[in-house]
Amino acid sequence: MSTYTAITLAQRPEPGPIGRETFNVVQKVVPSAGPGEIIVSQTYMSLDPAMIGWMSGDTKSYIPPVEVGAVMRSSGLGEVIESNHPDFALGDRVMGMMGWTEYFVSTGQGLNKVPAGITPEQALSVFALPGLTATQGLFNVAKPKSGETIVVSGAAGSVGSIVGQLAKADGLHVIGVAGDDEKCQWIVDELGFDGAINYKTDDIDAKLSELAPKGVDIFFENTGGAIQQHIFEHMNAHGRIAVCGMISDYAASTPSAGPNWIPIIKKRLIIQGFTMPDHYAKVPDLLAKLTPYVMQGKIKYRAHVLEGIESAIDGLNMLLTGANKGKLMVKL
């Protein structure tokens, strides 16, 4: 019997970097498909900031935590190698929540076929969680109008880079916040952002004044951190803040304080958090909204590809520190 590798959650992570003791690398026997089942050989696993939250024991969050002992939860892409299911043929490429595993047994539920012509990197970078999240957050939460100014944190990240490009395509003035000069250069030179702020080295307040002289109408928050304290001072009346991620705080032992709320009143701000599991029923609509931008060449991306299933563990830490350049994924 041949075996394959999977990675299970051994214990809940402590604050700080995620150690290898958090996981168990296990060998399993390659299964056969039962009646109505398919076997998927996963070829790419997606690594997303939300996964950090799924590992905590918080039972009140928006989806149940990964159970200790269970295969780590993640989305990915693979190829059907065995099928007892009428809707799936050998060789079909599928995407879905397969977890950290080389092989995945499924009834097909929750798996979507990947259309021909879309590469695995494009599928995971644009048409999976990042693109859906960007589309939902920008259009249905932040509700942009042409001519408005938007500031996106985590702007070189998987979600932020798409948010900025969608906003730019719709006629907004787009400022990105990122953590190093290479990322800042990439979002301006390659993605077409109107300006970039390096939150580690720039005077954030001065840069906001310079790059957003008419104030900020929309803040798309992916990171948390110092930007929050400054952005309140630059928001315009009736500004909207879409709260999508807080990657800088997910592994912090003491989450950072937020800004004082007086500007929420003075500027009549709306601050709204959202997560994609609330909106899975809308995925067809979101894809219909997103796809024309992609087809018109308006959504560029870059994939940061790690090799081998065990590299996923270090990959999570790259998300925490921002060491990844582009959408992080693991090639199996």
Binding site for a copy of itself (CB under 8 A): 53, 58, 60-62, 221, 224, 228, 237, 243-246, 249-250, 255-275, 278
Report how far apart the first and last C-alpha atoms of the chain are (Å, whole number): 20
**Which one-letter DSSP state was computed for residue 19?**
-
Q: How far is the CB of 283 from a copy of itself (least distance, A)?
A: 17
3-state secondary structure of 202: coil
Q: By C-alpha distance, which of 217, 215, 211, 214 is closest to 199?
A: 211
Q: How far is the CB of 53 from a copy of itself (least distance, A)?
A: 7
Report the C-alpha gap between 78 and 229 in whole angstroms: 42
Q: Give yes or no for a contact between 228 and 259, defined as CB atoms under 8 angstroms apart.
A: yes
CB closer to a copy of itself, 267 vs 325: 267
CB closer to a copy of itself, 62 vs 323: 62
Q: How far is the CB of 152 from a copy of itself (least distance, A)?
A: 16
CB closer to a copy of itself, 66 vs 80: 66
Q: How far is the CB of 254 from a copy of itself (least distance, A)?
A: 9
CB closer to a copy of itself, 85 vs 279: 279
Query: HSE on the CB side for 138, CA within 13 Å?
Result: 32
3-state secondary structure of 91: coil
CB closer to a copy of itself, 137 vs 164: 137
Q: How far is the CB of 316 from a copy of itself (least distance, A)?
A: 17
CB closer to a copy of itself, 257 vs 281: 257
DSSP string, 39-106: EEEEEEEE--THHHHHHS--TTSSSPPPPTTSBPP--EEEEEEEE-STT--TT-EEEE---SBSEEEE
Q: How far is the CB of 188 from a copy of itself (least distance, A)?
A: 27
